[in-house]
C-alpha cells in the first residue's frame, strides 16, 4: 500500500481512538470522581447512594432482570429447540429473522403497543374480562414482565440457535439405536452440551433487562423504583440535579453489569471448550 | 405430541411478536374502542398526525441523528478496521475491548458521565445535538463494529491485496476495485443496524437533550399523554422502520448468524 493511503487511514484510526476516549471511556471512568472530595478519598456519596430507597431500587432492578431473563431463557431455549428439530427450512429462516429483528425492538413504541393490548381497556383485557378471567395490570409489577418478554424471548431464541447447531441430529439417532430414549439423550448429552450457552445467554438477557430504561420509562412515566429510573431522575428529573448522587448510582449499576460481563466471557470460554469435545 | 408442542411454541412466539403491533394499528384507525372490536374505523388520527408540524420536525431530527450516526460510524470504522486488519492485527483486542464498553456503561450511565464532563468549559457540549450524535454513535458502535469487522475478516483483505498487486494493480485501484467492493455488503449492513439503533434511541436523547431537541420517540411519549390513537400510529411507523431496516440488514449478510457481543 502506498504510504499516503496507509497513513491517512492511521490518522482516522487515531481520531477514532480520541473520539472514543472523549465520549466513551472518560465519561465512564470519571464517574469515580465521586469518591474524591477535597483531594482525599471520601465515601460520603456511597453512603448517600446506599440509603434504603436506593437499596430497594437496586433490589427491584435485580429482581426484575432475574425473573425477566428466566422467562425469556425458558421460552427461548424451547423455541430454539423447536426450530432445531423442525424440518421446514422456510419456517426456520422466517422465525430466525423475525426473532433477530424483534429482539432489538424496545422503547416507547413497544410500551405503548402493550398499553393498547393490556391497558385498562386493552383488547386482550376485554377478552379476558369477557371470559370471566383475571385481567393483566400492565402498569403493575407483572406488567413489566409481559412487555420485556417481547424482546427477551426472541433474543434467547436467536442466541441459542448456534448452540443447538452444535448438536448433530445423528447423535439422537445413535442414542436411540443404543437403547436410550429422547429424555435420556437430552439429559445425558443435550443439556450438558447446551448448558454453557444457556448460562451465557441468560446473563445477556439479565443485563439487557437490568440496564433497560426507555421501555419502563414510557410505560410508567418513570413512576417505578428501579435503578435506571432513579439515575435518570437525578440528572433530568423534577427533583433537581444531583450529579454526585447520579454518578454514584451509575457506578453501582455499572458494577453489576461488569460482573455480568465477566461471567458472560467465562461462560463463552466454557461453551467453546464444550463444542470442541 | 412433541410435534404439537413445537408448533404451539412457534405459533405462540409469532402471536406474541405480531399481536401488539396489529392491535396498535387497529387502535390508530379506530373511532372508539371500548368493546371487543373497534366501533368504527377512521383515518382521522393518521391525518391529524401527518398534518402536525411537530411530528414532521421530530421525524426530521430523528432522521438527521440517524444519518449522522451512520456517517460517523462508517467514517471511523472502515479506515480503522482496514489498517488494523492489514498492518496491526495485534491492536484488534483493544478495539474489541472498546466495543464491549457500552455493555457496562449503557445509555443511562453514559448520559450521567457525559453531562458531568461537558456541562462546563473547556468543551461545553451539554444539551447540544452534537453531544447526542457522539453519544448515540458510541452506544450503537457494537452493532456496526460487528458487521464491518465480520466483513473484513471474511474478505481476508491481506491475501486479496497481494493478489491484486501481483496482477499489476496499484494501491488506489486495489482499494477501490478489490477491497471496498468486497466489504461493502458488510459495511452497509453495519450502517443499517446503526441507523436502526439511532432511530429508536430514547434514554440518551431524553437525558441529554429531552424536549429541547425533540426526536420521534421523545415526541411519542409527549403525544401519548393527550392522543393515544396518534401515539399508536407512531408505534406502527416505528415498527415498520425497525422491522424493515432489520430485515434489510439481515438480507445483506450471507450467513443468518446474529452476534450480540
The answer regarding whether domain B44-251 maps to CATH 1.10.3720.10 reads: yes
Report pLDDT for B256: 43
> Does A189 fall in a domain?
yes
In a domain, A66, yes or no: yes
pLDDT at A146: 95
- By the CB < 8 Å criterion, does B101 face chain A? yes
Of A30, A105, A158, the CB nearest to B242: A105
CATH code of the domain in which A177 resides: 1.10.3720.10
Chain B positions touching A130 (Cβ under 8 A) are 36
Which B-chain residues 171-200 have CB contacts (< 8 A) with chain A?
Answer: 171-172, 174-175, 196-197, 200
Predicted ipTM of the assembly: 0.90
Q: Which of A1, A150, A158 sits opposite B16 (nearest CB)?
A: A150
Whether residue A24 and residue B234 make contact (CB cut-off 8 A), yes or no, is no
Positions in chain B short of pLDDT 70: 1, 254-261
* Residue A24 is assigned to a structural domain of this protein: no
Please give the tally of structural domains in chain A.
Answer: 1
The reported pLDDT for the residue numbered B19 is 94
Beta-carbon contacts of residue B208 (< 8 Å; ≥ 6 apart) = B111, B114, B115, B126, B127, B131, B132, B135
Separation of first and last alpha carbons in chain B:
36
Among B82, B109, B111, B233, the strongest candidate for a mutation testing the A interface, having the largest count of A CBs within 10 A, is B109
Instruction: Identify whether the C-beta of residue B134 lies closer than 8 Å to the C-beta of residue A19.
Output: yes
Residue in A closest to B245 by C-alpha: A101
CA dist., res. A137 & res. A248, Å (int) = 33
Q: Which among B17, B24, B137 has the least Cβ separation from residue A102?
A: B17
Q: Supply the pLDDT for residue B258.
A: 47
Assigned domain for A85 exists: yes
Other beta carbons less than 10 A from residue B67's beta carbon: 14
Separation of alpha carbons A215 and A111, rounded Å: 6
In chain A, residues with a C-beta closer than 8 Å to the C-beta of B200 are 104-107, 109
pLDDT by position in tens, chain A (length 277): 566 788 888 999 999 999 999 999 999 998 988 888 777 778 888 888 889 999 999 999 999 999 999 999 999 999 999 998 876 888 888 898 899 999 989 999 999 999 999 988 888 888 888 888 888 889 888 899 999 999 999 999 999 998 888 888 788 778 878 877 778 888 888 888 899 999 999 999 999 999 999 999 999 888 899 999 999 988 875 566 788 899 999 999 999 999 999 999 999 898 888 766 6
Please report how many Cα atoms fall inside a 13 Å half-sphere around the Cα of residue A14, on the Cβ side.
6
pLDDT of amino acid B111? 95
Q: B-chain residues within 8 Å CB-CB of A94?
A: none
A35 is a domain residue:
no
Q: How much of chain B, in percent, has pLDDT values that exceed 70?
A: 97
Q: Is residue A229, in this structure, part of any structural domain at all? A: yes
Asked if B247 is an interface residue toward chain A (Cβ–Cβ < 8 A), one would say yes
Residue A176 structural domain: 48-276
String of b and e for B8-23 (b: at least 16 CB within 10 Å)?
A: ebbeebeebbebbbbb
* SS3 (DSSP) at A250: helix
| pLDDT value of residue A277 | 60
Please state the domain extents for chain B: 44-251
Structural domain includes residue A67: yes
Q: How far is A277 from chain B (nearest CA, A)?
A: 22
3-state SS of B124-183? CCCCCHHHHHHHHHHHHHHHHHHHHHHHHHHHCHHHHHHHHHHCCCCHHHHHHHHHHHHH
B67–chain A nearest CA distance, Å: 18
pLDDT at A237: 59
What pLDDT is recorded for position B200? Answer: 94
pLDDT at B1: 62
Q: What is the CA radius of gyration of chain A?
A: 23
Looking up cell 439481515, which residue turns up? B250
Task: Tell me if A218 is assigned to some domain.
Answer: yes
Angle at which helices A52-85 and A191-210 cross, to 10°? 140
Give contacts of B 40-69 with A, CB under 8 A. Answer: none
User: Could you give the CA distance from residue B101 to residue A170 in angstroms, rounded to a whole number?
Assistant: 41
Amino acid at each position: 500500500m502506498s504510504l499516503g493511503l496507509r497513513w491517512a487511514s492511521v490518522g482516522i484510526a487515531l481520531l477514532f481512538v480520541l473520539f472514543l476516549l472523549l465520549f466513551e471511556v472518560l465519561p465512564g471512568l470519571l464517574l469515580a470522581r465521586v469518591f474524591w472530595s477535597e483531594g482525599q478519598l471520601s465515601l460520603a456519596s456511597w453512603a448517600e447512594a446506599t440509603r434504603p430507597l436506593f437499596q430497594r431500587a437496586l433490589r427491584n432492578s435485580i429482581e426484575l432482570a432475574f425473573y425477566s431473563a428466566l422467562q425469556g431463557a425458558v421460552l427461548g431455549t424451547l423455541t430454539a429447540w423447536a426450530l432445531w428439530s423442525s424440518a421446514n427450512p422456510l419456517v426456520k429462516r422466517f422465525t430466525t429473522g423475525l426473532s433477530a429483528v424483534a429482539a432489538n425492538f424496545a422503547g416507547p413504541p413497544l410500551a405503548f403497543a402493550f398499553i393498547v393490548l393490556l391497558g385498562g381497556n386493552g383488547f386482550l383485557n376485554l377478552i379476558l374480562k369477557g371470559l370471566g378471567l383475571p385481567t393483566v395490570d400492565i402498569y403493575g409489577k407483572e406488567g413489566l414482565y409481559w412487555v420485556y418478554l417481547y424482546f427477551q424471548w426472541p433474543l434467547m431464541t436467536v442466541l441459542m440457535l448456534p448452540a443447538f447447531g452444535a448438536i448433530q441430529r445423528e447423535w439422537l439417532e445413535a442414542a436411540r439405536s443404543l437403547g436410550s430414549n429422547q429424555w435420556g439423550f437430552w439429559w445425558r448429552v443435550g443439556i450438558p452440551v447446551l448448558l454453557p450457552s444457556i448460562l451465557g445467554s441468560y446473563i445477556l438477557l439479565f443485563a439487557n433487562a437490568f440496564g433497560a430504561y426507555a421501555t419502563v420509562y414510557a410505560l410508567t412515566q418513570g413512576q417505578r423504583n428501579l435503578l435506571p429510573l432513579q439515575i435518570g431522575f437525578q440528572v433530568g428529573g423534577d427533583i433537581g440535579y444531583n450529579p454526585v448522587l447520579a454518578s454514584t448510582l451509575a457506578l453501582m449499576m455499572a458494577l453489576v453489569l461488569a460482573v455480568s460481563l465477566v461471567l458472560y466471557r467465562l461462560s463463552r470460554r466454557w461453551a467453546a471448550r464444550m463444542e470442541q469435545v | 405430541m412433541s410435534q404439537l408442542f413445537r408448533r404451539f411454541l412457534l405459533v405462540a412466539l409469532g402471536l406474541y411478536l405480531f399481536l401488539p403491533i396489529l392491535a396498535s394499528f387497529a387502535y390508530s384507525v379506530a373511532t372508539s374502542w371500548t368493546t371487543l372490536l373497534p366501533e368504527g374505523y377512521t383515518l382521522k388520527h393518521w391525518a391529524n398526525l401527518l398534518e402536525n408540524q411537530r411530528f414532521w420536525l421530530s421525524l426530521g431530527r430523528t432522521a438527521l441523528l440517524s444519518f449522522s450516526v451512520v456517517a460517523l460510524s462508517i467514517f471511523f470504522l472502515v479506515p480503522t478496521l482496514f489498517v488494523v486488519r492489514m498492518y496491526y492485527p495485534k491492536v484488534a483486542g483493544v478495539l474489541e475491548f472498546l466495543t464491549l464498553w457500552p455493555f457496562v456503561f449503557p445509555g443511562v450511565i453514559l448520559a450521567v458521565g457525559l453531562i458531568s464532563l461537558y456541562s462546563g468549559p473547556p468543551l461545553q457540549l451539554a444539551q447540544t445535538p452534537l453531544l447526542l450524535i457522539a453519544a448515540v454513535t458510541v452506544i450503537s458502535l457494537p452493532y456496526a463494529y460487528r458487521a464491518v469487522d465480520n466483513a473484513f475478516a471474511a474478505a481476508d483483505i491481506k491475501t486479496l491485496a497481494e493478489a491484486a498487486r501481483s496482477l499489476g494493480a496499484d494501491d488506489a485501484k486495489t482499494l477501490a476495485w478489490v477491497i471496498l467492493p468486497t466489504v461493502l455488503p458488510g459495511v452497509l449492513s453495519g450502517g443499517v443496524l446503526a441507523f436502526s439503533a439511532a432511530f429508536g434511541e430514547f434514554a440518551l436523547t431524553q437525558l441529554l437533550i429531552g424536549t429541547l431537541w425533540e426526536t420521534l420517540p421523545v415526541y411519542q411519549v409527549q403525544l401519548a399523554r393527550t392522543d393515544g390513537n396518534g401515539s399508536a400510529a407512531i408505534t406502527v411507523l416505528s415498527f415498520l422502520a425497525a422491522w424493515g431496516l432489520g430485515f434489510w440488514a439481515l438480507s445483506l449478510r450471507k450467513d443468518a448468524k446474529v452476534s450480540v457481543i
